[in-house]
Chain A
Amino acid sequence: MDIDKEIRTEGRPGGGDGETAPAGRTGAGSPVEFRLDAASGVPTYLQLVHQVEHALRLGYLKPGDQLPKVRDVVAALAINPNTVLKAYKELETKGLTAGRPGQGTFIQATLSQVTLPELAGLRRSLLGWLASAEAAGLDEDGMVALFSSALRDFFNRRGGSAGGRGTAGGETEGVA
């Protein structure tokens, strides 16, 4: 009964890890589309929240951008409208979005203080690190383990919270 798999054949390229299903045209008028991973065990509304946060971190979404309309998400993913509303409310509570009556939901903050070119540069150096890790004989799980452990150490040494998840640095960057 995995409906996701049935839709995947229409998937857009670069849709990610292959575990999730592209969802058609939720993104009409919005820079992003939502996908659902039925096997992840993560509640549907949280999946939507995470995808917006992820898109914000990677610069796919910027202040002023519109999120897909609730109706479009419902139509594309066949999920309960209340689930989408809950996700959007959560994003609003986090200060990341704001609803505009009659128009929709818009991004008003960013999670990334880094510009797209900077991100591309950082990604390149990370790819370089990955190549050397592979050359040293690490497999994917090994790389993830090493990176996660280094990441934990890095932030632990700095006393924990700083720079961790959800410190939406851009909350003061208003929308034009």
Chain B
Amino acid sequence: MSVNVIEAGGLGKRYGGTWALRDCSLAIPAGHVAALVGPNGAGKSTLLNLAAGLAEPSAGGVTVLGGRPAGSRAAADGIAFVAQDTPLYKNLPVADMLHLTRNLNRRFDQAYAQGRLAELGIPLKRKAGKLSGGQQAQLALTLALARRPRLLLLDEPVAMLDPVARHDFMAAVLTAMADDGVSVVLSSHALAELERVADYLVLLSRGRVQVAGEVEDLLASHRMLTGPAADAGRYAERPVVHLQRGEAQAHLLVRATPHDPVPPGWEAHPVGLEELALAYLREPGAGALPGPARGRSTQTSEVTR
């Protein structure tokens, strides 16, 4: 059960003189929906493309599904990737897209694909380009799932979809996970939505991994402290991730567990995924520490001693 679906060591990708991703080391365990979060240009798509074997690393290496080199045949057989722009041949009827995908892949479950499209009411004769945005996304997902992957990579899968289509798309992805145990790694900006979808978080910033860990562990090891602004400076010694200071009151996101003592005059509140991710995104420098889940240098227990 300790198989990593993506494992990268010193991974880097340079386009011209610019590093899109550098010194990226992470290990995403199987059985999760892992969310890649970060500002535009942080390296999310690059990481997904490297894992899918669609790009060659400039430095380091990446393996998938328990050590298969990315891009190898063994890796490709186990991975399905839906790229950002829902890549479909817009002039081909749906049936031809199925046919094409079946011929391009060693494994393709035609019955599953047809059954799924029928369930969704997507007509086989219609040209892919004439489908609604939600249907196009569902078609791309169906083609990906019909390959029966062990790892599903999704790059900004719902960015272009309306709320109902987003919900239906994510429901389909998560149902596939419930049915077949497929692991999912997806990039997204929709933090509020990730709250109930993702149970593993990778925050990327400026081409580097800022935070990585199981959401549950991350949330359990961070607290929001609220208290007098005049005292906020006193916590400089502690691992403060983000500080919001008003005239009188300050909010500090700190690394601390619910068992750590709360300073007198301060209140501690649990944080959600969105609040946590936003705090880190606002403080790209706070990425020096590894994710608490796999903490190496700083243990959260020493945080508020």
A71 and B272 within 8 A (CB): no
Q: How far is the CB of A58 from chain B (nearest CB, A)?
A: 25
Query: Does B95 count as interface, using CB distance less than 8 angstroms?
Result: no
Q: Let me know if B193 and A79 touch, CB within 8 A.
A: no
Main SS class of interface, A: helix
Please, which residues of chain A bring their CB within 8 A of the CB of B163?
1-3, 5-6
B193 neighbours in A (Cβ, 8 Å): 1, 3
Report the minimal beta-carbon distance from B145 to chain A, rounded to whole angstroms. Answer: 14
A149, B195: Cα distance in complex, Å: 34
Interface size class of B (residues with CB under 8 A): 20 to 34
Stretch at the interface among A80-88, A109-117, A122-130, A161-169: A80-88
Contacts of B277 in A (CB 8 A): none
Q: Which of B19-38 contact A (CB under 8 A)?
A: 31-33
A80 touches B174 (CB 8 A): yes
Chain B residue with the shortest CB-CB distance to A84: B178
How many chain-A residues does the 8 Å CB contact rule pick out? 22
The answer to whether A1 touches B196 (Cβ under 8 A) is no
> How many A-B residue pairs lie within 8 Å, measured between CB atoms?
66
Find chain A residues with CB under 8 A from B178 CB: 70-71, 74-75, 81
Contact between B171 and A75, CB atoms less than 8 A apart: yes
Q: A76 contacts the other chain (Cβ, under 8 Å)?
A: yes
Q: Mark A1-35, 1 if CB is under 8 A from B, else 0.
A: 11101110000000000000000000000000000
Tell whether A38 is near chain B: CB-to-CB under 8 Å.
Answer: yes
Within 8 A of A (CB), among B170-188: 170-171, 174-175, 177-179
Give chain B interface residues in 131-190, CB to chain A under 8 Å. 163-164, 166-168, 170-171, 174-175, 177-179, 190
A36 beta carbon closer than 8 Å to chain B: yes
Bound-state Cα–Cα, A56 to B33, Å: 31
State whether the Cβ of A144 lies closer than 8 Å to any Cβ in chain B.
no
Closest 4 CB pairs of A and B: A78-B171, A81-B178, A78-B170, A6-B163
